Structure 1
């Protein structure tokens, strides 16, 4: 399982304006900022959520301030709050990740799940980090394979 987690790479959500080729990132349009409650039967794609995001499939975006609950996965650049899903994959997390698999580069908080990976360590069941690191812009996570 650890090898599958390590194969996940971070790529930018948006087009590389310095490139003359078309890639998957070019197909993602600019998203909105949502304040309040978002409920979706499939998934949510947004730049920023300030509140609660709930869907039966997945949630993906740049930043969430609040709670994101999805049955399958959460994929965000930055989380300030709680993410609950089968797989939670972020670049920076301040708060709590609850899932079967949790992965983040910079963590200030807790991860609870079968396998938890952050910039400091990889542990089963529970992982944590409370170092006050300055979070700088990190490109959004995109899974290559799981």
Structure 2
């Protein structure tokens, strides 16, 4: 016979699993807006004609690595994508713990470009704005192949 405490624990576990499944489905739906896109390389080159393809790819690699996305998806993101819209697509349920994606991206930018994301961060900040500031902060590093 199950005690009341054991039953409460089982109910709590079932509710947590259900909420987790629901949040995961919502995340997949939100991220599909990005994954369904074609290559944005031409858009990056149009907005940053002075940048090499390699420097754009290296920047996007810092981003996808920070967010734990597959590297082959890096060119699904455009210069106009707001970093917080991407974050909220990954975490559509407010208040759920994250995996420190923003912090990891900031660390990657600091290592690669010596750029402090926290010092310029706003809700409206786009990947293109970050790319411009990061590569301007250390232009020699930005175009140096890794």
TM-score band by shorter chain is under 0.3
The alignment's TM-score, normalised by the length of structure 1, stands at 0.23
More strand by percentage: 1
More helix by percentage: 2
The alignment's TM-score, normalised by the length of structure 2, stands at 0.23
Greater relative contact order (CA < 8 Å, ≥ 6 in sequence): 2
**Structure of higher CA gyration radius:** 2
